[in-house]
Each structure stands twice: as structure tokens, then as C-alpha cells.
């Protein structure tokens, strides 16, 4: 038999089997509403499409759901049908959803403002008003002043728009012009506008599809990053002059594995172009007072060398992973940076400490470190040559350097939150080591942090690695497995998931839930090796870590397979999809937000946003070794005829990070293939992107839907 004919017969047989297995299930999945009316789930049409890769064929029955232009009426009709099905099937929870929404909203202090921070001669802050979805961005002459200047009222700018988000927000050095960007679709394609702060009028200048903005010192020149119109990769830097309206391309990154961003040194003396791939980076720079100068390379890129820089006086400070997986810190005289022989080591590499960043002041340096999964701030008094750490009390928490624009200061402003402590802003006197609480998020409705308990425990993964888990629950919990367990994780890009407070989460905790955050490999909680052990050809560690954490928590009495729910978003949605295929029996339900589940199809297509920049994260499937490994875990490609948990999937129609058709295809295949009668719901926000609804109250509606889905499965009516 001729090989080509044999391949054709195999394809036909495969199409027949696929059609039979999927069609046989298409009428199986339905639900009844509160009036006991049968509601049939939408059935996505099967239109066989074959991908041919590395000499093999891969069947994709729902390829037709991809519409790059987002205009295909058939596709839109299917997405709307899924939305209507979800609405009808969960209509009996409408009152519960409304109660949850009102409950979450009631905890929010609607008329509130952030702590003002100083930059130049003004103090800047955001303010919200009762009943309004968006913020007012303001400034005043002193922290105590009552007279304010509203720079931007987002509510007015958002009028008549289903989605609204501000990107960049930069005031010129002379404090007279505001440059701000807006996204009214949700695709992270921002348009840049300018406002004359003397007159309050917008100028006629408008620049489309930008990402970042930096002012030059002359108050009329701005540098901005442009996105590629198709891939949305940030790849160009342009210079725009507000005086003569000239617009000039000054840099273009041609390597498709790199992203481009722009920033300014804290000293405001230099403008930086930052180029970064997953494993390599490079910085170009010019003096901020010489906008017509040519950008010069700070230190030439070399494979797997990542670095970033800061400036103070006559020195640059370089955080680099050169021969230092967890990074070390160098200093170098301005003008001598191109030769690494001139770099002087300030902080040596440490195997047990990840150097995450620095904040410079005239007499102090703050070193942000991560040890045993927890952040810590080392304060270095460079005048007296001493060092100490800022004290943090909770067993698990999150801390971050806040707005510190003034170099001549001995006060560090930082943010802090834990699973039991609402978001707080502190001023820390680096001389006296005294801490002042500037503001703690006010949680209405009688919240008392003493009613909750947080823990940090370790699960043993199947290969013997200890995986940390942060846990919170209401005081008085009996660890008998009867409490519902809600476990969340991410595990990609080296992004560490630190424990944080959520007033929304109280809705579950007050109903007896245990909330757990699994710090699985693929993040960077335990150092650089934690990331390296959860990517590329070790990606499956991420999935098995999550499964092993779940089993550990259940064995310790925090929950049971009958009441455990898992949630992840984006790459965490990939985690949900992979785990659902690998170990579906230990979860009552799963929530996958904007899930990256069609790994091979996306990573094989360089025209899709994010693809080329992420070969070092997932692997390049054009190489067979990586293709075969991806093929073994890609959620969409590994859906099989088995029982799955109850699943809620959400997406945004305009999502630029994970295209809507990935979850759409996944849901269609799941519904046609799975053997159980469990719920499978798919919600598409037709007006949003990767982050869902943009308004602070409309976002609560989506949480209310998710929580009602969970509570309904547990039979909790209130």
C-alpha cells in the first residue's frame, strides 16, 4: 500500500472516530433550571481541520472558532449561545448572585482615596467617589492641603464605553502637561493623549497603539513604545515633539523574541530602552536632557544574561545574573559600563537568596530579596556602612516598594498585606528604624482580622521537593475534611504568587472555606531554580506540584475531593486544564479564567501575540523535542473520554494575551468528549480583554458568578 494512501485512510478513520466519539456526547450534557425545564447545552459544529507537524497530523475539530478580526457572525452567535446557556442554567442562583454582589460591594468604602505621594512640588493620589466605577487622579500642593486639582476623571472619560482602562500616566518635568493613554476595547492597545494642566484642555495630539511613555527634560519631547499591528509585540521606540509635531522612529528591535519597554532613572538623568526576552536582556540609554542624542548600548546582550540598571550620582547599579543564577549587584562608574571588568561587586551571589531589585536614595539603598519564599527589605545605610531588615510579622505575606520618587529622603514608603491583614501603606524611617502606618484598607461590615488564621505549610512533591502553601481560614476550623477547600496557583514565567488580603475572599471564608495558595514550581518563590524546574522540558512539575499540594491539603483535613475547588487564570488556566486531564477525581469543581489551553496551535503560530517571545518559556514546537513534550500536556490536545469535575471557564472577547478561541475550543471539545453529567459553563465577556470587566463594581459581578457556581455545587443557598 502506498504510504500517502495509507495516511489518507488513517486520517479518514481518525475523523470517523472523532466524529463518533464527540457526536455521541453532543446531546448528553444538559441541565434543568429552577422550573425543572430542560436546558440543552450549545453544540459546537464539528468541522475537521488537520494540522500537519513533524510528519504527523493533529486533528482540530473546532479550528473554525478562531476569528482574528472578531467579526464572524457564526462564531459570535456560538459565544452568545454559551453565555445564554450559562445564564439559563444558573438562573436559579440569580438571587444568590445578587446577594453575593451586594455583600462584596458593602465591604468596599466607596468614597476613598490613596495615600498621597510626593513627586516634585506636588503630592499625587487617586480618589474614588460613591457609586462611581473609576478613579479620579488628583494632586495637591501638600499632603495636608484641602484644595485639589483633578488631573483626570476616568469616569467622564469612560462615559458611553463598555470598557475603559488607563495605561501610562506621566506628568512633564515642569509639571504642566499630562501624557496619558487609554484602552477602550480591552486589547491593551492604548491611545496617547495630552492635557494642558494650566488650561485643563486636551491638545489635538493623539498617538495610537502605544505602550509606554517617558518625558525628556525639555518638557516637549516624549519617547514612546509602539506595538506591532498584528502580533502586538512592543518593538519600536518613537520620539514625538509636541512643539513642532514631528514624529520620528529612533529604535526598532528586529528579533521577534524580544519585547521593548522604556523607562527613566530615578535620578531622572537618563532615559532607558529596555529589551528583554525570556532569558536575555539589554539596555540602551541617552541623557534625559539630550533628546536628540543617539541611544547607546549600556552593555551588549549575550545569551542568557539578564540585567537591569539604576543610576545615582556618578555610578550605575547593575542587577545581573552573570555567573549568578539568583543575581548579584554591581556598581560601575558612568562611562565605563561597557566593559564588565570595570564592574565592582556590591552584593555577592547567594544560593538561598534571590535578589529581586533595589531602590536608591542619596544615603541609603533598599535591597529587595526573597528568602525561603518570602520577601524581605534590607536597608543599607551607606553613610554609616550598616545594614538591617524591615520587620514583618505574619507567617506569609506580600510586600512591595511603593512610590519613592525623592532621592533626598530617609523615609521608605512600602506596601504590605497578608492573608489576614488588609492592604496597608507604611513609611519606614531608615535612620530611626521607626514604622508609621499611613493607611490601612478599610473593610466595612464589621471585619476583624482576629477572626482569621493564616498558616504556611509544606507539601512534599512526588520527587521529594518541599512546596510551600499559604493558607487562611476562619478561626475555629476543624481539620476534618468537611470544610470546602479553594486552592489557587499560577506557576509560570518566574512570577511569584505572594499571599495577599482580599475583602472579596471573605465571602468564602465566612462560609467556612479554606483558601490555599500553592507556591508551585514555575514561579520564583524559592529562587531561580524554582523557575527553571517548572518550565520547558520540566513544565510538568508545575502540574504535579499542584496535584500533590491538593492531595496533601486533603490528607491534612483542610478539605476532601468532594468539596475541593481549584482556580487558575491565564497560564494558571493552563494549569487547570492540564490537571483536569491528569487528576480530575480529586476536585469537585474548577474555575479557569482566560486559560492558555491550546498550547501547540498557539506556539506554532508566530502571528499570534506573545508567541515568539515565549519560546524560552514553553519551548519552540518547531523543534520536535519540544513539540512532543508539549503534545503530552497541552490541555486541548489531551481531552479524553473520562469524567471531569464541574468546570466554569471565562474569557474576554478582545483578550490579547490568550485569544478567546483557546477556551472556546477547549470547552467545545470537553462537552463533546467527557463522559460525566457534571456542569460545564463558558462565559465570554464580549466587552473586555484579559483582565475581565474594567469597573470596580462590574468586576464584582464576575466574582459573584464564580462564587455562586461554587456554592451551588455545595448546596449552599445563602
Catalytic residue ranges: 570, 655, 690
Residue 339 phi, psi (nearest 5): -115, 115
Q: Do residues 603 and 621 touch, judged by C-beta distance below 8 A? A: yes
Which three three-digit cell numbers place residue 424? Answer: 496597608
377: left (phi over 0), alpha (psi -120 to 50) or beta: beta
In angstroms, the CA 22 to CA 37 distance is 25
In angstroms, the CA 5 to CA 379 distance is 72
In terms of C-beta density within 10 A (0-12 exposed, 13-18 middle, 19 or more buried), how is residue 139 classed?
Answer: buried
**Other C-beta atoms lying within 10 Å of the C-beta of residue 541:** 22
Q: What is the DSSP letter of 553?
A: H
The neighbouring-strand residues paired with 379 are: 366, 388
In angstroms, the CA 351 to CA 514 distance is 33
E-assigned strands of 314-451? 315-320, 328-333, 344-347, 353-360, 364-371, 374-381, 386-389, 397-401, 411-418, 424-429, 435-440
In angstroms, the CA 43 to CA 457 distance is 44
Q: Rg for the chain (alpha carbons), in Å? A: 26
**DSSP assignments along 479-518, one per residue:** -SS-S-EEEE----TT--------TTTHHHHTTT-EEEEE
In angstroms, the CA 193 to CA 206 distance is 5
Residue with cell 512570577: 495
DSSP reduced 3-state for 540: helix
Amino acid at each position: 500500500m502506498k504510504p500517502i494512501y495509507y495516511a489518507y485512510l488513517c486520517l479518514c478513520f481518525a475523523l470517523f472516530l472523532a466524529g463518533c466519539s464527540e457526536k455521541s456526547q453532543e446531546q448528553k450534557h444538559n441541565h434543568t433550571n429552577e422550573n425543572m425545564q430542560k436546558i440543552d447545552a450549545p453544540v459546537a459544529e464539528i468541522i475537521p481541520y488537520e494540522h500537519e507537524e513533524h510528519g504527523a497530523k493533529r486533528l482540530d475539530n473546532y479550528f473554525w472558532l478562531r476569528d482574528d478580526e472578531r467579526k464572524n457572525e457564526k462564531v459570535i452567535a456560538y459565544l452568545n449561545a454559551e453565555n445564554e446557556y450559562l445564564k439559563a442554567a444558573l438562573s436559579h442562583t440569580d438571587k444568590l448572585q445578587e446577594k453575593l454582589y451586594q455583600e462584596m460591594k458593602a465591604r468596599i468604602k466607596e468614597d476613598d482615596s490613596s495615600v498621597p505621594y510626593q513627586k516634585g512640588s506636588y503630592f499625587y493620589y487617586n480618589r474614588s467617589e460613591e457609586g462611581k466605577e473609576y478613579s479620579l487622579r488628583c494632586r495637591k500642593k501638600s499632603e495636608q492641603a484641602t484644595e485639589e486639582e483633578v488631573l483626570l476623571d476616568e469616569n467622564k472619560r469612560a462615559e458611553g464605553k463598555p470598557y475603559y482602562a488607563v495605561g501610562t500616566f506621566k506628568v512633564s518635568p515642569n509639571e504642566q502637561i499630562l501624557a496619558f493613554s487609554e484602552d477602550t476595547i480591552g486589547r491593551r492597545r492604548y491611545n496617547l493623549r495630552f492635557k494642558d494642566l494650566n488650561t485643563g484642555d486636551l491638545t489635538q495630539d493623539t498617538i495610537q497603539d502605544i505602550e509606554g511613555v517617558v518625558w525628556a527634560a525639555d518638557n516637549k519631547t516624549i519617547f514612546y513604545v509602539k506595538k506591532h499591528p498584528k502580533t502586538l509585540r512592543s518593538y519600536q521606540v518613537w520620539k514625538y515633539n509636541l512643539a513642532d509635531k514631528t514624529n520620528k522612529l529612533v529604535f526598532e528591535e528586529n528579533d521577534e523574541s524580544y519585547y521593548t519597554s522604556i523607562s527613566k532613572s530615578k535620578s531622572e538623568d537618563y532615559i532607558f530602552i529596555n529589551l528583554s526576552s525570556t532569558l536575555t536582556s539589554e539596555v540602551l540609554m541617552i541623557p534625559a536632557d539630550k533628546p536628540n542624542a543617539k541611544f547607546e548600548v549600556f552593555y551588549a546582550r549575550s545569551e542568557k544574561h539578564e540585567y537591569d540598571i539604576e543610576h545615582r550620582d556618578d555610578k550605575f547599579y547593575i542587577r545581573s545574573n552573570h555567573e549568578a543564577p539568583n543575581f548579584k549587584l554591581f556598581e560601575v562608574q558612568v562611562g565605563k559600563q561597557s566593559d564588565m571588568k570595570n564592574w565592582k561587586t556590591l552584593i555577592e551571589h547567594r544560593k538561598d537568596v534571590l535578589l529581586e531589585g533595589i531602590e536608591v536614595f542619596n544615603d541609603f539603598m533598599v535591597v529587595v530579596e526573597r528568602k525561603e519564599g518570602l520577601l524581605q527589605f534590607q536597608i543599607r545605610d551607606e553613610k554609616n556602612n550598616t545594614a538591617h531588615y524591615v520587620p514583618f510579622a505574619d507567617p506569609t505575606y506580600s510586600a512591595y516598594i511603593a512610590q519613592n520618587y525623592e532621592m533626598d529622603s530617609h523615609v521608605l514608603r512600602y506596601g504590605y498585606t497578608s492573608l489576614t491583614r488588609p492592604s496597608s501603606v507604611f513609611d519606614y524611617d531608615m535612620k530611626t528604624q521607626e514604622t508609621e502606618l499611613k493607611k490601612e484598607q478599610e473593610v466595612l461590615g464589621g471585619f476583624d482580622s482576629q477572626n482569621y488564621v493564616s498558616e504556611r505549610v509544606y507539601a512534599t512533591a512526588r520527587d521529594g521537593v518541599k512546596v510551600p502553601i499559604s493558607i487562611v481560614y476562619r478561626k475555629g476550623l476543624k481539620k476534618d475534611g468537611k470544610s470546602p477547600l479553594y486552592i489557587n496557583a499560577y506557576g509560570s514565567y518566574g512570577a511569584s504568587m505572594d499571599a495577599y488580603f482580599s475583602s472579596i475572599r471573605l465571602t468564602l471564608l465566612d462560609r467556612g472555606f479554606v483558601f490555599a495558595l500553592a507556591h508551585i514550581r514555575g514561579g520564583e518563590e524559592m529562587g531561580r531554580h524554582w523557575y527553571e524546574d517548572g518550565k520547558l522540558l520540566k513544565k510538568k512539575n508545575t502540574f504535579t506540584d499542584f496535584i500533590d499540594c491538593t492531595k496533601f491539603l486533603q490528607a491534612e483535613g483542610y478539605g476532601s475531593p468532594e468539596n475541593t475547588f481549584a482556580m487558575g487564570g491565564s497560564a494558571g488556566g493552563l494549569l487547570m486544564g492540564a490537571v483536569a486531564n491528569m487528576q480530575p477525581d480529586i476536585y469537585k469543581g474548577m474555575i479557569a479564567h482566560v486559560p492558555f489551553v491550546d498550547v501547540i496551535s498557539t506556539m506554532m503560530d508566530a502571528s499570534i501575540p506573545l508567541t515568539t517571545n515565549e519560546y524560552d518559556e514553553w519551548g519552540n514546537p518547531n523543534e520536535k523535542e519540544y513539540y512532543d513534550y508539549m503534545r503530552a500536556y497541552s490541555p486541548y490536545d489531551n481531552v479524553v473520554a473520562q469524567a471531569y469535575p464541574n468546570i466554569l471557564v471565562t474569557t474576554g472577547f478582545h483578550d490579547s494575551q490568550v485569544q478567546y478561541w483557546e477556551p472556546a475550543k477547549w470547552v467545545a471539545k470537553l462537552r463533546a468528549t467527557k463522559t460525566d453529567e457534571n456542569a460545564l459553563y463558558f462565559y465570554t465577556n464580549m466587552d473586555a480583554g484579559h483582565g475581565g470587566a474594567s469597573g470596580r463594581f462590574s468586576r464584582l459581578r464576575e466574582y459573584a458568578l464564580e462564587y455562586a457556581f461554587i456554592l451551588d455545587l455545595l448546596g449552599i443557598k445563602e
